[in-house]
Amino acid sequence: MSRAAQGLALSILLLLCLIAAAPARLLLYALPGNEIIMQGFSGTLWRGQANRVLVATGPGYIQLGRVRWLLSPLSLLTLSPSGRVDSEWGKQKIGADIQITGAQSLEFEQLDALFSMRLLRAFLPLSVGGDIAVQFEHLKLEKGRPTEVAGNLVWQDAQWESARGVVPLGTYALELEQAPGAALNGEVITVTGAVEASGKVALAGEDYWIDISVKVAPDLNEQLREALSLIAQPVTGGYRIKFDGKSSNP
């Protein structure tokens, strides 16, 4: 091998070593600075962590806590970066295999998450408590909207917080499924609880439909009964929540 070829090989090897050892903080330059705040870096660009991460939303920032990631260098060659991301903030946990498949396209595999229902209060004026457990085998988003879905959401130990105290409701699941090019369909199932809910939800483009039956006990908390009557139609043995409309653009 000529000296020129040896020099080129050594230069490439050195470059690869530098890239492999690139510090984790370099990830900041690939992220929108106004939307994601990351602090306390350790590790490398390919296998690292940040001790404090916040993500901007409409009402403010969501705390993700400590975030660890494992990126695949080979995925960069196909222009579809992929890797594993896990975050932890108290009992709030999020983990998924993520792949960027386009400028506005994301795919998640084995997405698992647990967070407090109180987190939704930043987006919806709901007087509710409990935890949301998320389990998706597959989730694909295009321009912020789901296009392929297989998974479920579980509202664990659901509570309604009235002026007179906390009213336990039960545990409820929403099974979701969406094939490519089809509408997103969901089925509401009561796992356990004195308030029994069942029905269907659907989303096709910007159009959505909701049709849920709610069966209640005769001694149901009066304030909860009044709250249900504001969004549901009274029927024999309970209420029916049925409406449709258009969702706002993301």
pLDDT in tens, 182-222: 999 999 999 998 889 999 999 998 899 999 999 887 777 77
* Residues present in the chain in total: 250
pLDDT band for 13, please (50, 70, 90 cuts). very low
pTM: 0.84
Predicted confidence (pLDDT) at residue 10 exceeds the cutoff of 70: no
Which amino acid, residue 235? V
pLDDT for the residue numbered 15: 45
pLDDT for the residue numbered 175: 98
Residues 6+ apart with CB under 8 A from 233: 239, 240, 241, 242
CB 202 within 8 A of CB 186: yes
Q: Which segment of 6-20, 74-88, 178-192 scores lowest on mean pLDDT?
A: 6-20
pLDDT for the residue numbered 163: 73
